[in-house]
Structure 1
């Protein structure tokens, strides 16, 4: 099993591609501000070419943006740190400045990396596994909108469903967001929430993804406490947070 430090280093190598960073940037004592570049191997999401992306990790902020706004960030955030960066007063100030350029904050999420132990996974329900080709049968099924993305930029690679008789009561899926890391998503049917199904499936999928030579990771929204609890109970720990922007509509 990889250690926590080894897993974190793999994630950092990916974030370097996502944010146009250098590995030495993580050794800085203050925030890092760089010009945005679209590097080969970066994670490709719908916000890929956004005006501004911010990564908060290890008490520092890494700001990747257009050259035109870099002087402003250097003035206000060049000497700061990142532990309170996503507090609302900062977000409001940044959002107001973005309006000068026709953009606004779109969203921010935080992400979790796995830890591994030898605690057995207690079976809660029968399960069935789905490979990449099998997952296509669920396209358009709104029950599994968190488990599967059906996006060529981060293809769904593996899924696992829990059953009550013939009925699917929960589904977890893993997408290949980049070469080294697969992201896990989870849906549980309303009548079966609070029974441990989400944690059960995410733990199973986490272990299977790792055995396939990939690092599983988990992302969720700032206010989604239930999802955060699932991540922690499934053996994930908070690792970083990200913000991205969009054009004002």
Structure 2
């Protein structure tokens, strides 16, 4: 699988998620679509959404509801695309969404593997490939970033790092859609800053590609440790996303 193949698969998945065409993400002007459920969309996305902005760098593709279409269009056409994903402009978006009882909730940066840089990395510890039956008993708090607790069936493969027989780090992937598997990684505190996370991430990415699937990695752009891990593991930033949710949902999260 080439970088071009990977990028095209990601664009197609974003099109499923956003109810639009793949070429919309490469346009020089912003695109608005009306959000609707799609069986091919990512399983973690609660479609339809009332305000969701995606940018691969050129423009913004915004999926909205009929009632929020006008205000979201006003917002994304008022500022440069990248400015729509940062403060203080986000405060303006919140004001526009307030009459609909919506608030900005999630913001993230997504990474794709660069196959010219992706390679197995050595961390000095044994790495073991784990199948479903091997990590069935690992749904514990210390591995909450790499396993899908609310839908275990999505978890398809993992790689563990071991100090003798002690599991010290784990990377898992969830089949969030047909062609793309999302990677999450956890390392025990006393074993961090030793290259364990990047060794796990790169190894799991290679195994995912062997399955004919595309690994992808998500991080908050303020999570410097996670972003560094993505880059060290052979990934590069590919798209960003901002999602608004119901005010009651947002308030429940922050309490």
TM-score, normalised by the number of residues in structure 1:
0.92
1:135 is matched with 135
Deviation at 1:37, TM superposition (A): 1.2
Q: Where in structure 2 are the equivalents of 1:40-189 lying within 5 Å? A: 40-45=39-44, 47-78=46-77, 81-117=80-116, 119=119, 121-122=121-122, 124-139=124-139, 141-152=140-151, 155-189=154-188
Write the distance in 2 (CA, Å) between the matches of 1:154 and 1:47.
18
Write the distance in 2 (CA, Å) between the matches of 1:153 and 1:159.
13
Deviation at 1:130, TM superposition (A): 1.5
The answer to whether structure 1 residue 6 and structure 2 residue 5 are counterparts is yes
Q: Deviations over 1:156-188 (max 9, x none)?
A: 110111111221111000110100000110001
Deviates more, 1:110-119 or 1:199-208: 110-119
Query: Unaligned 5+ residue runs, structure 1?
Result: none
Q: Where in structure 2 are the equivalents of 1:194-209 lying within 5 Å? A: 194-209=193-208
Deviation at 1:136, TM superposition (A): 1.9
Q: Deviations over 1:133-160 (max 9, x none)?
A: 3322112x10100110134387111011
Question: What SS does the aligned partner of 2:151 have?
Answer: coil
Question: What SS does the aligned partner of 2:222 have?
Answer: coil
Divergent runs of 4+, >4 A: none
CA RMSD of aligned residues (A): 1.9
Question: What SS does the aligned partner of 2:14 have?
Answer: helix
Deviation at 1:49, TM superposition (A): 3.8
Query: Unaligned 5+ residue runs, structure 2?
Result: 249-255
Deviation at 1:211, TM superposition (A): 0.4
Write the distance in 2 (CA, Å) between the matches of 1:191 and 1:75.
49
User: Aligned pairs, how many?
Assistant: 247
